[in-house]
Structure 1
Amino acid sequence: MKIIYKKPNCLHSLLILLLACWSCSEKKTDLKSPNILFVISDDQSFAHTSFAGSNFANTPAFDRVAREGVYFSNCIAGSPGCAPSRSSIVTGRYPWQNEQSGQHASAWLKKYVPFIDVLDNNGYVTGRTGKGVAPFQYARSPEDSLWRTTDAGGVDHSGIRYKDDKEGIEGYAKGVSGLDYYENFKYFIEHVKKDQPFFFWFGASEPHRAYEKGSWKRMGKKLEDVEVPAFLPDNDEIRGDLLDYAVEIEWFDQHLGKILKYLEDIGELENTIVIVTSDNGKPFPRAKANAYEYGIHVPMAVRYPTAFPGGRIIDAPLSFVDIAPTILEIAGASPEGMMPIAGQSFLNILTSEDNKIKGRVMDYALSGRERHSSSRYQNWGYPQRAIRSKDYLYIWNMKPERWPAGAPQKYDPKDESKLLPMHGIGSDGNYIPQSAYTDIDDCPTKTYLLEHHEDRDIKPYFDLAVAKRPEFELYDIQNDPACLENLVGKAEYIDVEKRLNEALVLELKKTQDPRVVGPDQDVFDTYRRYSHNRNFPSPK
């Protein structure tokens, strides 16, 4: 593990007080305790901040948090899909531990208490703007007696929006959220917080699709600045799509920057722990909804110079299940009332001046997926479990007979006795929207791959995105971040493969993953989906 350390002037006595409160399990009453600002973008891969070296996504606000704080260069999301990943954050549990409350577009059960509720009962005032823990179905009426009523990400106290503009918000790209995240945060501070410490969840909708195609041109971006990952073809269509993605990242970052400045102006920034991350990777083929590097590896930085020595880069893996216990320890709050937490606090890492940190949290991180969208017969998912060390990524595709990106063909929603064409390509050679491989968000990159899938130069990229996969995959992510060369079975990697397999299975058994320990290994496929459903033919 590499730690770049810049010595602080002093360590604040506040953390000593907090740790003392934690050890004696007393409720936190010190109103001078730190505020906590939790910031999460929607669908942003690890590589796409300027701090991480991106030449086409400019993120000065994130860069400041990373530069002045602790940057985790190997943060692994709980899932490559949004709902299960956010579930993992607020419960401190893996998605497979949370029944339907760890699955996309299913119901949130009351028993899965988020850490935010605990903060509410321990001296913090909490609030939210933007996307919370979603998409989930929350209670609609008293009949939904087992379901949670409010968003697990906290209460949205205001809904201040920009005025609609046909040219885009303030001349910006169409497709960004109409919510004014900054103004909603300001409202919370001025009208809700009062004299208590706060926890605030800023959940951006960016860079989730859809984007305004070609918005990058108006925003002054250049095709030549783009770095196209090796699992996608390198041409102007793909580069333009990546630039539109970067435009939305920058909108998110601008709001973060305004919030940081506001906190600074009112004298609260140095008493606020700022945590910035994303829920999963970018919405492109072989990224989001895939347990590959660009699907589960996300940005992560924590700033609190008062007690966390800044200017450090931690390259050991960090897991999303570790966020909840860390925040609870900071707040001096017991997880009483929550379901048993699988993660471990990394507060000792944040306050440490050396690398003498023990425990699983610094050895590897796990991620997993089940159903992402309605993409297969009877809403079946594509179950994956992954374990990520600092150098390797090991993936278990538990149902390799299924299509990883969704079925290549579906029934016509206008006439469900008819099947739409294979790969969603009509007789005119054009892609029919939402007609195939629907675990991949419709986008120019997906359309290009499908419409050119028979071209000799494009077919390899098409296969990487949608073809069936072996049960096990192993990648050297230091040398192959695109996850192109599967090392399973290669003699020189047998020991690595064995070690990661054993560690993965051990943790899945420990956390009672139904896919491994039963009794119903296919229970995840039975959970009701409350979002739009599609109709697919039975697999042969």
Structure 2
Amino acid sequence: MKEIKSVLFILLLLFSFVSSANRKDNRPNILFAISDDQSFAHTSFAGCKFVNTPAFDMVASEGVYFSNCIAGSPGCAPSRSSIVTGRHHWQNEQSGQHASSWMKKHIPFVDLLEANGYATGRTGKGVDPFQYARSVDDSLWRSTNAAGIEHSHIVYRKGTPGDERTANGISDINYFENFKYFLENVKGEKPFFFWYGAKEPHRGYEEDSWKRNNKNQDDIKKVPEFFPDNGIIRGDMLDYAVEIEWFDLHLQRMLQYLDEIGELENTIVVITADNGMPFPRAKANGYDYGIHVPMAIRFPKNFPGGRVVDDPVSFADLAPTILSITKTGSEGMLSMSGESMINILESKKQGIVDPSKKYVFSGRERHSSSRYENWGYPQRMIRSEDFLYIWNIKPERWPAGAPQRIKPGTEDELLPMYGIDEDGQHHSDWAFTDIDACPTKSYIVEHYDEPEIQPYFNLAVAKRAEVEFFDIKNDPYCLNNLAGNPEYSSIEQEMKDALMSELKKSGDPRVVGPDKEVFDSYIRYSPMREFPAPEK
């Protein structure tokens, strides 16, 4: 009898062990979806009539929609750096600068999730563009992308029946199928963190792709007031909309698949964009259309949904929030400047949930190779619910890049001013190269001397005051600089003081040194252009 009891006890232990080993880890999954160059206004949830984003709309309506999400930078690399480190980009040295190197010491939260038992992966654009280690000689550089191991091998092939892409220029990566592959072949029984990094709506677009995508120029109720209003600009914006919808389509398929396999309700879905729309005076600018991006988060289990939150939130807040949600420690990461948004997400309130979170911050250094010796256009921004304060640290520089370039293959021969050739055609790569090549840019530059277009040209490329201050509620396009206006002096001073306090606290070299020009010294690993030295 004793022997039978011993055998039964051993079997019970074995059964308990096997059951425990096979028990599913029920910590929440995280699907992080980020589009490439999309301003806050361009979702159908936000009321945009020329774009249809059902996946974003579902997450925003069933979850928490953040009406004042501010990107870490108006450019992709520094902004994405801020997301994964929880730090302002100016704290991350070259690992916060466009097309420079990613150093090992800037550990992303993705690594910590993996160490804490999460399956991690990505598809599409990760934390880029950065130069990661090319060989053992790059011993201080990180060897893999800071967003995780890539799964982008399932692609569309042009001319085949399965190629459903709606425009030329859209990436060949089948984002959904790669996500599905990750879940079926990599995830196992672990909870997952997956980074869906669409390459859309980054330029370039197929011009007039909107014509075969059921778009109508009349659907654009209002062109942003920093553009002229004509068919060229409207068509360019509709081509942009086509690519936003492609990003949303694959997200919709991901959400549907998660629902089919019973994982949706245990998945925190975060949707945002890395910076604003790739148009003049938006992307690569500190104005609202450059740094204000869409964001919605859904997790019905813990985050009361159906809410619009007006608290300003920052990309630097995402890392501490995700670590908190997953009960993952931050040991190994450098100190974070962001703050967890858990209290906002778990609240049932709308509007302003946490009045103590009054300000968020953004910044810019280099974007493209656009000035003498690869100089950038340094900016620091502070944003409240109602106001935006911009410090243009080097106002003597051209904000959109130099207006004239040295001809490739020569030492000092200059290409035509503004990049306009003898036939009156603008060549985008010749001038103002911080603005992506596009029909909107070319139209404004080619018609710069026409009285009705000249104001838009100046808004896009002219030199700017050192301080710009805007009432966002009444001036969303940032056209009326209120800096120095006595009516707003107390608010302006308060925001200036808060910005300088944060820059000092976070050790911004532009303020505390020791080398205030260090950002211009970091090597750029993407293609370079040569420009003449600025006049003294």
Task: Give the TM-score normalised by structure 2.
Answer: 0.94
Query: Counterparts of 1:88-487 in structure 2 under 5 Å?
Result: 88-165=82-159, 169-170=163-164, 172-226=166-220, 227-354=222-349, 358=354, 362-487=357-482
Note the C-alpha offset of 1:252.
0.3
Residue aligned with 1:409, SS: coil
Partner of residue 533 from structure 2, selected from 522, 530, 538: 538
- Shift of residue 144 of structure 1? 0.3
3-state SS of 1:479 partner:
coil
Kindly provide the amino acid, as one letter, of the partner of residue 110 in structure 2: I
Question: Partners of 2:415 and 2:162 in 1: how far apart?
Answer: 35
Taking a change above 3 Å as real, the CA distance of residues 30 and 368 of structure 1, as seen in their structure-2 partners, is farther
Task: Tell me the amino acid that sits aligned with residue 401 of structure 1.
Answer: E
In structure 2, what is the Cα distance between the partners aligned to 1:357 and 1:311? 14
- Stretches of 4+ moved more than 6 A in 1? none
Q: For residues 169 and 504 of structure 1, what CA distance do their matches in structure 2 show?
A: 49
User: How far apart in 1 are the matches of 2:104 and 2:301?
Assistant: 36
In structure 2, the residue matched to 1:7 is none
Following superposition, the deviation at residue 30 of structure 1 comes to 8.0
CA–CA separation in structure 2 for the residues paired with 1:490 and 1:513: 28
Displacement, 1:358?
4.5
Aligned partners of 1:418 and 1:165: how far apart in 2?
44
Which amino acid in 1 is paired with 2:91?
A: Q
Name the residue aligned to 1:527: 522
Amino acid in the other structure paired with 2:179: F
Distance 1:215 1:158, change over 3 A: closer
SS in 2 for 1:411: coil
Tell me, yes or no, if the aligned pair for 1:387 and 1:395 is still in contact at 8 Å.
Answer: yes
In structure 2, relative to structure 1, the CA distance for the partners of 1:341 and 1:58 (3 Å cut) is: same
2: CA distance, partners of 1:216 / 1:344: 41
CA distance in 2, matches of 1:334, 1:30: 22
Q: Structure 1 residue 354: deviation in Å?
A: 3.4
Q: Using the alignment, how far apart are the partners of 1:223 and 1:353 within structure 2? A: 39
d(CA) in 2 for partners of 1:261, 1:211: 28
Q: Deviations over 1:490-525 (max 9, x none)?
A: 110001100100000000000000000001000000
Query: What's 1:21 paired with?
Result: none
Q: For 2:390, give the aligned amino acid.
A: I
Q: Is the 8 A contact 1:158 1:187 kept in 2?
A: no
Unaligned runs of 5+ in 2: 1-22
Q: Cα distance, 1:316 vs. partner?
A: 1.4
Instruction: For 1:378, give the aligned amino acid.
Output: E
Task: Supply the AA of the counterpart residue of 2:126.
Answer: G
For residues 510 and 30 of structure 1, what CA distance do their matches in structure 2 show?
Answer: 43
The match for 1:507 is 502
Equivalent-residue separation in structure 2 for 1:354 and 1:106 (angstroms): 42
- Residue 255 of structure 1 and its aligned partner are, at CA, apart by 0.3
Worse-superposed segment, 452-461 or 223-232: 223-232
Distance 2:452 2:159 in 1: 41
Q: Which residue of 2 aligns with 1:13?
A: none
C-alpha separation in 2, matches of 1:392 and 1:157: 41
Give the partner amino acid of 2:408.
P
Q: 1:164, CA displacement in angstroms?
A: 1.6
Helix, strand or coil at the partner of 2:428: coil
Q: CA deviation at 1:444?
A: 0.2
The residue type paired with residue 369 of structure 1 is R
Instruction: Give, in whole Å, the separation in 1 of the partners of 2:302 and 2:484.
Output: 46
Q: How big is the shift at 1:435?
A: 0.3
Query: What displacement does 1:165 show?
Result: 3.2
Identity of aligned residues (%): 65
234-243 or 414-423, larger mean C-alpha shift: 414-423
- Paired letter, 2:44: S
Letter paired with 2:302:
A
**SS across alignment from 1:152:** coil
Measured after TM superposition, the shift of residue 418 of structure 1 is 1.2
Report how far residue 157 of structure 1 moved. 3.4
Q: Map Cα deviations across residues 359-389 of structure 1 (whole Å, 9 max, x no partner).
A: 75x2111000000010000000000000000
Query: Secondary structure of 2:499's match?
Result: helix
Contact 1:223–1:243 (Cα < 8 Å) also in 2: yes
SS in 2 for 1:39: strand
Residues 167, 173 of structure 1: 8 Å contact kept: no
* Partner Cα distance (1:126, 1:137) in 2: 21
DSSP 3-state at the match of 1:186: helix
Q: Within 2, Cα distance between the matches of 1:168 and 1:426? A: 42
Per-residue CA deviation, residues 266-304 of structure 1 (Å, 9 max, x unaligned), is 110000000000000000000000000000000000001
1:230-269 Cα distance to aligned partner (Å, 9 max, x none) = 0011100000000000000000000000000000011100
